[in-house]
Amino acid sequence: MAQPKRQRTSRREIYVTLRQMVLTLQLPPGAALSENELAASLGVSRTPVRESLILLAQEGLVQVFPQIGSFVSRVDPAQVADAQFLREAVELAALDDLPPDLDPAVLKELRDNLERQQREGLGLEEFFDLDEAFHQGLMRLSGHGNAWTTVAAAKGHLDRARRLGLYENASPAVFADQHREIFDAVAGGDVSLARTAMRTHLRAVFSDIERIRAHSPELFATDSSTVPVRRNVVVWE
């Protein structure tokens, strides 16, 4: 009798899974990566894992050191700043393109989103997903919703810094309040106020980085020439 074939997992799925593990800090900055262990945990061969790590290295989310190994890259403030610059430029430009008559269906989605952001007991990853959907919704109001894919692909280091900021804060309520301020300005037709509120909201990540780096400097890149050394444990020098 023929044996049932094992369901194959695509290389794309492995890449997406590993990328999400890095972005959500399941694989934290500086963590050593074992192809064997990752392959075993995902139930695949080493080949798609190795190929995925190469792609993540091209994004700057993984570093590969010959004779030493592969590691999750530490958060690079310079790359955070570049991604934030891109995001701010796109989202502020989208606000400038808001039409006089805003799509009522999208407005309702945004209101519902804001209500869910205020829900008690909301997990940080749930809030992060709502945050992403809120900003994408604002882009859709301006007719530039498809541009969000490009923004999202460029902000790996930024998203890790944002998550660190979320975990640093006792509650995401401050960010939910900022979202409400932006939405109220947009719905009220005050683009100038919306731009100011958006800029303040998006730049909050910089103060988060400085605060977190003060007590957890090991999470952040300081020198591109820094190389980890494998001893009994992995250390960075």
Contact 219, 73 (CB under 8 A): no
Q: Where are the alpha helices (DSSP H) in 43-172?
A: 46-58, 77-96, 104-117, 124-141, 147-153, 156-168
Spatial separation of the C-alpha atoms in residues 24 and 41, rounded to whole Å? 17
Q: Is the pTM of this model over 0.95?
A: no
Task: Determine the pLDDT at residue 11.
Answer: 86
Compute the distance between CA of residue 32 and CA of residue 235 in angstroms, rounded to an integer.
10
Predicted local confidence at residue 118, as pLDDT: 93
For residue 220, report the phi and psi dihedrals to the nearest 5 degrees. -120, 145
Domains in the chain, please, with CATH?
A: 11-74+221-236 (1.10.10.10), 77-215 (1.20.120.530)
Walk along the chain (237 residues) and give the pLDDT tens digit of each residue.
Answer: 444 344 456 888 999 999 999 999 999 999 999 999 999 999 999 999 999 999 999 999 999 988 889 999 999 999 999 999 999 999 999 999 999 999 999 999 999 999 999 998 899 999 999 999 999 999 999 999 999 999 998 899 999 999 999 988 878 999 999 999 999 999 999 999 999 999 999 999 999 999 999 999 999 998 655 666 554 444 444
The predicted structure's pLDDT at residue 223: 67
